[in-house]
A = this chain, B = another copy of it.
Amino acid sequence: MIRFPRHEGGDVSVVICGAAGQGIQTVEDLLVQVLRVEGYHVFGSREYMSRVRGGNNSTEIRVSSRPVRALVDRIDLLIPLNGGVRANIIERIDEGTIIIGDGEELGTEFAGYEDQFLNAPVLEEARQVGGKVYASVIAAGILAGLFDVSTGPVESYFEKRFGAKGDKIVAQNREALDRGLTMARRLLEKGRFSLAVRPNPQESRIAVNGTDAVGLGALAGGCNLVTAYPMSPASGVLSFMAQKARDFGVVVEQVEDEIAAINWAVGGAYAGARPLVTTSGGGFALMTEGLSLAAVMEAPVVVHLAQRPGPATGMATRTEQADLELALYGGHGEFPRVIFAPGSLGEAFDLTRRAFDLASRFQSPAIVLTDQYFVNSFYDLPPFDVGRELPKSYLVEAGPDYRRYAESPDGISPMAVPGHGEGLVGADSHEHDEVGHVYEDFHLRKRMNDKRLRKAEAIFAETLAPTLIGPDDYRDLVICWGSTRHIVEEALDELDRPGLAMLHFAQVWPLHGDTAGLLGRAERVVAVEGNATAQLARLIRRETGIEIKEKLLNYSGLQFSVEKVREGLRDLLS
C-alpha cells in the first residue's frame, strides 16, 4: 500500500490533465477553494497548450499541512480526464504514483502501469448524470472525497459558481460531485493507497495567483489607466483590471496594438494618470520606442512584462526568463529604469505597488518582470497588507512660469500636469529646453542628458537588496531571480547541505550595491536561471566583474521543478 504523503509532514501532489475546454479549470477551482476552507495549504500551477479545445493540459495541485509554494515533478495522484496524455506527464510517473482514470476512455494508454492504475468509470457515471461535461466535476468529487472534505464548503462553492445558472445545473453538479465522493470511498477501500495529509487551519488566508498579485499591487499603487493588447501570458492582468475598473475607477482600454498601448501610457502619464501596460516579450519589443519616449519625457509608466519563450512567437503559453536583457536595454538612447522580478506573490503585490511609486517619484519607467509560470501559479497566504497610506502623489501645481524640466541636483524636476495650476505644461520627444521646447544646442543636450541620467543615482539609493536565504556563513551560494525563488528554496531545503545558501534578486536593475560583496564571500557561486545564456549572471559580471562559472539553466518551456534544481545543484556542487 502506497501512503501519501510519501514523507512525514510532506505534501500530496495531485496532477489533473485533460483536453483544453474539458473542465480542468473547474476541478482546480473547486479543489482549491474547498481545500483551503478546510484548512489545507495549497499550491497550484498550470501548463497548457496554445489552443482552445483539445490537446492535453495539466494542473498540479499540492496539498499540505505546511505552506507549499513551488512546482514539483513528483506526481502522487494522477487524474487523466481523457486520453492523449503528453510525454511531460508520463515522464513524471514513478513507482509511487497512483493513476486514477477511466479505463474506457484511456484504453491502453497506461498499459505498463497496471499496478498503479485504479479504474474509475468516470465517463459512464457522467453520462448517467447528464453528459460528458460532468466528468470533471466527478473527478473533483473523487479528489474531495480522498481528502475527506466536509460538505459545507462544497455546497457553498456550487452555489457561488453555478447558482446563477439555475437549480437544475446546481443539482446536476451536486450529483456529479456526490458520485465522485462515492467513487473515492470505493477507491480507498481497494487498499492500494492511503491519504493522510492533515489540515492545519489558520486565520484569514487568501489564495491568489501571480496575475491577481500584480493586479492588486497595481491598484494599491494607484493605477488608474490600463492599456494593453492581449498577449499570453500577460492578458490575465488586463482582464483582472477590466473587471475591477468600475469599482476602482480605472480606465481600461484594449487598444489596437502594443505601440498604442505604450503611447497611451505616456500620454496618460503626462496628463496625470498612473498607467500600467501589460504585455509579453514580443509586445514589449514593439513598445521599446515608446519606452524611450517615456524616458525622454520623464513620464512615469509601469510595464508588466510576463515572459514566455522566444524568439518571436516561440511558445505562446509557456514560460521562460529570457527577457531580462530586453527589459534592461530595450529602447534607443540611454536612460535610467527600474526592473523588479518578484519571486513570491507577496513580492509581486509589494513590488508592483512600489513600481508605481518609483516611476512617479523618479519619473522613469519601471518594469515588473514575471513569467507564465508565475502569473498562473497560486498558493494560499495571509492577505496582502494594503496599509493606510495612500499612494504618494509627487505632482505639483503648475505656477505661471512652470518649467517641466527644471534643473535640479538629483535630476528630478517637479512634475505638474495640464489643468492643475495656472501654468502651461510641455513634454517633448526631442532633446529640449527646461520648458520642454525643442532646441538644438550641444551644451543643453549634454545638460539634459546628464539630468536624466543623474536620476540613476537616486534610483540606485532605493534599490532593494537581494534576499539571502540560508546560513549567513555560506560557502556555496546559489543565485536566482524572479519566479524561481520558492523552487530553489525548496530544493535547498531538500539538499540540506551545510554552508549552502541562496540569494534571490527580486530587483534585477539596478543591482544592489551589496551584490559584489555577497557573491565575493562565497567559495562557489551557481546561477539558476530559466534561460539559455544566464542573463543575470552576465549582468552581474558586467556590474561587479565577478564571473559565475557554474550555471543551471532551463529553457524547455516548462519551469524548473524542485527536483530538477535539487539534482542539478547536487551535480554541480558535488
Interface residues of A (CB under 8 A from B): 49-50, 55, 87-88, 259, 280-286, 288-289, 292-293, 295-297, 309-316, 318, 320, 322-323, 325-326, 328-335, 428-431, 440-443, 445-446, 449-450, 452-453, 531-533, 538-539, 541-542, 545, 547, 555-558
- The smallest C-beta distance from A405 to any residue of chain B, in angstroms, reads 13
Contact status B315-A292, CB under 8 Å? no
Task: Please tell me which one of the listed residues B297, B326, B531, B541 contacts residue A312 in the complex, with CB atoms under 8 A apart.
Answer: B297
**Could you tell me if A442 and B330 are in contact, using CB atoms closer than 8 angstroms?**
no
A334 to B281, CA, bound (A): 11
Asked whether, in the complex, the Cβ of B316 is within 8 Å of the Cβ of A292, the reply is: no
Contact B314 A282 (CB under 8 A): no
B285 adjacent to A310 (CB under 8 Å): no
Residue contact B335 to A331, C-beta cutoff 8 Å: no
Residues of B near A556 (CB, < 8 A) are: 442-443, 445-446
* Cross-chain contact A557 with B445 (CB below 8 angstroms): yes
A557 adjacent to B328 (CB under 8 Å) = no
- One complex includes copies of this chain to the number of 2
Please name all residues of chain B whose beta carbon is closer than 8 Å to the beta carbon of A326 when the two chains form the complex: 288, 329-332
Complex contacts, A538 vs chain B, CB 8 Å: 542
Which of A87, A286, A288 has the most C-beta atoms of chain B within 10 angstroms of its own C-beta?
Answer: A288
Q: Which B residues are CB-close (under 8 A) to A259?
A: 286
Query: Given the known A-B contacts A326-B330, A449-B555, A542-B538, are A430 and B282 also in contact in the complex, defined by CB atoms under 8 Å?
Result: no
Excluding A314-B332, A315-B445, A440-B557, 9 further A-B contacts by CB distance (< 8 Å) are A259-B286, A285-B292, A295-B312, A296-B311, A312-B333, A313-B429, A318-B440, A329-B330, A453-B532
A281 to B532, CA, bound (A): 27
A284 CB contacts on chain B under 8 angstroms? 332
Question: For A547, what are the chain B residues with a Cβ–Cβ distance below 8 Å?
Answer: 545
Which of chain B's residues has its CB closest to A280's CB?
B332
Specify the chain B residue showing the minimal Cβ separation from A554.
Answer: B446
Identity of the chain B residue whose Cβ is nearest the Cβ of A316 in the assembled complex = B430
Sampled A-B contacts (20; CB under 8 Å): A49-B440, A259-B286, A282-B289, A284-B332, A286-B286, A288-B326, A295-B312, A296-B312, A296-B313, A311-B333, A312-B429, A313-B429, A314-B333, A314-B429, A440-B557, A442-B557, A443-B556, A449-B532, A453-B532, A538-B542
Assembled-state Cα–Cα distance A539/B292 (Å): 21
Query: Contacts A440-B49, A443-B556, A542-B541 given: A292-B311 contact, CB under 8 Å?
Result: yes
One of B280, B334, B442, B557 near A531 (C-beta < 8 A): B334
Residues of B within 8 A of A293 (CB): 311-312
Chain B min CB distance to A336 (Å): 10
Among A49, A323, A555, the most chain B Cβ lie within 10 Å of the Cβ of A555
Taking the nearest CB of chain B, how far is it from the CB of A184, in angstroms? 32
Bound-state CA distance A103–B453 (Å) is: 44
With A315-B440, A440-B50 already in contact, the answer to whether A309 and B323 are too (CB < 8 A) is no
Q: Given contacts A322-B332, A442-B557, A453-B532, are A292 and B282 in contact (CB under 8 A)?
A: yes
CA distance A186 to B320 in the complex (A): 75
Chain B nearest CB from A551 CB (Å) reads 14
When the two chains form their complex, are residues B555 and A445 in contact, meaning their CB atoms are under 8 A apart? yes
Closest to A325 in B: B329
Are A309 and B542 in touch, CB under 8 angstroms?
no
Give Cα A514 to B120, complex, Å: 66
| Contact with A333, one of B281, B431, B539 (Cβ below 8 angstroms) | B281
Contacts of A334 in B (CB 8 A): 310-311, 322, 531-533, 555
Residues of B within 8 A of A452 (CB): 311
Q: Tell me, rounded to whole Å, the shortest Cβ–Cβ distance linking A534 to chain B.
A: 10
Bound form: Cα–Cα A445–B445 in Å? 46
Chain B residue at smallest Cβ distance from A547: B545
Cα distance, A262 to B332, chains bound together (Å): 17
Do B311 and A430 have beta carbons less than 8 Å apart? no
Please provide the 9 A-B residue pairs with the shortest distance between their CB atoms, ordered closest to farther.
A310-B333, A281-B332, A311-B333, A542-B542, A312-B429, A285-B289, A313-B429, A329-B329, A296-B311
Most chain B CB inside 10 Å of its own CB: which residue of A259, A284, A328, A532: A532
Judging by beta carbons under 8 Å apart, are A292 and B309 in contact? no
In chain B, what residue has the closest Cβ to A333?
A: B310
Chain B positions within 8 Å of A310 at CB level: 292, 296, 331-334
Report whether A330 and B288 are in contact in the complex, using a CB–CB cutoff of 8 Å.
Answer: yes
A312 to chain B minimum Cβ distance, whole angstroms, is 4
| A309 x B446 contact (CB < 8 A) | no
A533 to chain B: closest residue by CB: B334
| Residue from A280, A292, A440 with most neighbouring chain B CB atoms (10 Å) | A440
Q: Find chain B residues with CB under 8 A from A545 CB.
A: 541, 545, 547
Is B286 touching A314 in the complex (CB atoms < 8 A)?
A: no
Q: Are A431 and B332 in contact (CB under 8 A)?
A: no
A431 to B443, CA, bound (A): 49
